[in-house]
Copies of this chain bind each other. A is one copy, B any other.
Amino acid sequence: MSQQAKKPLNSLQKAVNKEVSVRLKMELEYRGKMINVDPYMNVILVDATEYSGGNPSATYGKIVIRGNNVLFIKIGEGFRI
């Protein structure tokens, strides 16, 4: 895959050290500061909160999420309708 082709994943790098929300396939969401991410969407979050079905269910000092479980990563603002 050329460098050109990797652009969506490279642009994730710009969100490093920002607050993001990582949505997984199984109705789980993790919000926190993304201190690291790679092209497989393996992500490290610090000071993260887990939401299960929209409700906070746990907090984590530091977690390494395996990329293959990721549905999407939200960078900008958003809210539930």
List the interface of chain A (C-beta within 8 A of B): 1, 5-9, 11-12, 24-26, 28, 30, 36-44, 46, 56-81
Q: Could you tell me the distance between the alpha carbons of A18 and B73 in the complex, rounded to whole angstroms?
A: 21
Residue of B nearest to A44 (CB): B8
Number of copies of this chain that the complex holds: 7
Interface contact A68-B65, CB-CB below 8 Å = no
Task: Give the residues in chain B near A69, CB-CB below 8 Å.
Answer: 25, 71-72
CB distance from A78 to the nearest CB of B (A): 4
Q: Could you tell me the distance between the alpha carbons of A40 and B69 in the complex, rounded to whole angstroms?
A: 13
Q: Could you tell me the distance between the alpha carbons of A40 and B6 in the complex, rounded to whole angstroms?
A: 9
Interface contact B78-A58, CB-CB below 8 Å = yes
